[in-house]
Amino acid sequence: MTREEFNAFCSGLQATNHVVQWGNADVWKVGGKVFAICGWNDGKDAFTFKATDLAFEVLRDEPGIRPAPYLASRGMKWLQVYETCGMNDSLLRDHIVTSYDLVVAKLTKKMRAELQV
């Protein structure tokens, strides 16, 4: 997946917004909370997302995937796909949607109603 494809995919999810932060990283949020990031890998595209507990345990040691720098070191279950061998585009999109869903689930009921998510 390219950065452009990543941004196009994330923009298609409901009630999202995009900001550029942290050294030119594309950061995608829903309800003001981050669910996906592209950047942070020595100038190469790397894709970071929140993971379920099970996905984090299963995928964190796979080739091309690692616990997300900074986020995972603080005990959060975030993964980063930093090499193309890490996972195919379809599976990456599935994990981005799961990340989005995990973040939406943590929003207040009022916020979810306002965003219609």
Per-residue pLDDT tens over the stretch 81-117? 998 777 999 999 999 999 999 999 999 999 999 999 9
Give percent of the chain with pLDDT exceeding 90.
79
CATH number at residue 81: 3.90.1150.30
User: Three-state DSSP class for 66?
Assistant: strand
Considering the entire predicted model, what is its pTM? 0.92
Which domain does 20 fall in, by range?
3-115
- Provide the domain count of the chain: 1
**Residue 49 is inside which H or E element, if any?**
strand 47-50
